[in-house]
Structures are given as structure tokens and as C-alpha cells.
């Protein structure tokens, strides 16, 4: 049974990914800032196959201790799914340093540090593992107010491609899943007019199916995708 480290498991697409993986006989170690009722239900349903760790990923310096003292004892780790993210939305002329730095700590620096320790774990156990980062369509097609957020996801896409090149010969794959706008807490901030403008930019004219995104992640974790690495897989309803 493969053990998957998944961040942002408490809600949204991360929670859907957690449920799908658990139902497909993976073990899941979930990380998010705080436990909630959804987490409790998964713990009750899946028992020892699901472990949740409370951790604020803004604390980049603590990633080493988190891995060594809480994650490593539950391993070996077969895959890391970096889903957790926060959004700082504003137009560029209003850019402020403090929220920008916080977003980079959560969205970029912590995933980079976690990738470091997960790859070390894979090398130690000779695991041919997988790293998956969840990105955003805003990297590839501009949206007003999302320049700063998109820049964090763009950094992850570049990091993933180079991770794939660097560690492919060790059997470690790295890919990105890039969804369009889904029904999440982030998209809930948009009014109907804003959402309709966004939907009109994809070929199917509707929200992206979260289950489809989760299924893409599960495929990339499986042996069925053994020849896929260094890729950005778009699950965006054909965004134009």
C-alpha cells in the first residue's frame, strides 16, 4: 500500500483528492492548518490508513522538524501532492509586500522545502516515487487581480519541470495538474458576473469538475502514468 503526503486536505479539491485516494487503497498523510469535521469523518471511516497533521505551512523553517518527527515515522513516502495554497488577490498597483511574502511562504517556499525532504526519503528507501503540484490556469491566461497569485503557481511549474529533469534517473517523477476555476472557497469570493466571465473563457462554458481534477492526480500517482514526467496537465475545460 502506497503512502501519499497531501497538503490542504481539509477542504476543496484537496479533500476530494484525499477521499479518492483513500477509497483506492492508498494511505494518506494529510496536512492543513487545522482539523475540521470533514477530517474527523475521514479518520473515523479509514482509521489507520489516514493520518492528519495540523501544521501552518507559512512556517517554512519548521518543515524540517515536521518531516523528521511527524512525517518520516509514517513512511516510507511514495508520493507528495502539494495542493495547499492561499491567494492574495489585488491589482498590481496595490501590491503590498507583507501579504505577498506570506503567500510565497505558503505556496512556494514550503512546497520546495517539503519536496527536498520527500525526495531524500525516496532516495533513502529506493522508492520510485511521484511529486505532483496543483497549479492554476491563471499562470497561462491572465486574469485581472491574480498576477501575484499566478506568479507563485508559475514558480511551482518551473520547479516541477526541473525536478523531473534532475531526479528522473532515480525513478522519481514530477508533474503539475493545472485546473481551471472550480467551486472552491477561492472561487466563492467571485460574484455571478465575474464567474460568468471566467466560464465564457473555457470551451465548455462551465465550472471545472473537481472529481475530474482529483482523478487526474490519482492517475499521475499510479503506475499507469509511469512514462509521464515534467508535464503540466491541464484540467480546465479547454480554457481559451
Confidence (pLDDT) at 220: 98
Nearest residue to 203 (alpha-carbon basis) of 169, 167, 235: 235
What is the predicted pLDDT for the residue at 144? 86
- Indicate whether 186 pLDDT > 60: no
* DSSP output for 98-146: HHHHHHHIIIIIHHHHHHHHHHHHHHHTT---EEEEE--GGGTS--TT-
The 10s digit of each residue's pLDDT in 191-218 is 667 666 666 777 777 777 899 999 999 9
pTM for the whole thing? Answer: 0.93
- Residue 76: strand, helix, or coil: coil
Higher per-residue pLDDT: 70 or 239 = 70
As annotated, the active-site residues are: 149
Q: Tell me the pLDDT band of 151, cut-offs 50, 70 and 90.
A: very high
For 158-198, give the DSSP string: HHHHHHHHHHGGGT-EEEEEEE---SSTTGGGS-HHHHHHH
Mind listing the pLDDT tens digit for each residue in 46-85? 999 999 999 999 999 999 999 999 999 998 999 999 999 9
Q: How far apart are CA 106 and CA 108, in angstroms?
A: 6
How far is 4 from 28, CA to CA, in rounded Å? 5
Amino acid at each position: 500500500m502506497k503512502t501519499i503526503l497531501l497538503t490542504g486536505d481539509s477542504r476543496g479539491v484537496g479533500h476530494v483528492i484525499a477521499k479518492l485516494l483513500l477509497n483506492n487503497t492508498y494511505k494518506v498523510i494529510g496536512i492543513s492548518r487545522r482539523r475540521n469535521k470533514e477530517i474527523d469523518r475521514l479518520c473515523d471511516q479509514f482509521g489507520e490508513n489516514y493520518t492528519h497533521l495540523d501544521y501552518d505551512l507559512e512556517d517554512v523553517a519548521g518543515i524540517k522538524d515536521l518531516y523528521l518527527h511527524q512525517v518520516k515515522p509514517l513512511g516510507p513516502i511514495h508520493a507528495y501532492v502539494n495542493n495547499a495554497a492561499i491567494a492574495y488577490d489585488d491589482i498590481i498597483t496595490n501590491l503590498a509586500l507583507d501579504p505577498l511574502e506570506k503567500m510565497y511562504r505558503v505556496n512556494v517556499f514550503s512546497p520546495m522545502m517539503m519536496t527536498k525532504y520527500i525526495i531524500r526519503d525516496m532516495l533513502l528507501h529506493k522508492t520510485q516515487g511521484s511529486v505532483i503540484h496543483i497549479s492554476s490556469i491563471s499562470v497561462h491566461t491572465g486574469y485581472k487581480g491574480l498576477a501575484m497569485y499566478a506568479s507563485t503557481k508559475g514558480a511551482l511549474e518551473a520547479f516541477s519541470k526541473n525536478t523531473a529533469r534532475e531526479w528522473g534517473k532515480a525513478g522519481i517523477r514530477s508533474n503539475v495538474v493545472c485546473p481551471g476555476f472550480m467551486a472552491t472557497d477561492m472561487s466563492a469570493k467571485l460574484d455571478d458576473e465575474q464567474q460568468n466571465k471566467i466560464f465564457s473563457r473555457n470551451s465548455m462554458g462551465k465550472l471545472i469538475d473537481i472529481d475530474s481534477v482529483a482523478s487526474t492526480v490519482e492517475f499521475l500517482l499510479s503506475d499507469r502514468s509511469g512514462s509521464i514526467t515534467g508535464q503540466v496537465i491541464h484540467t480546465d475545460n479547454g480554457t481559451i
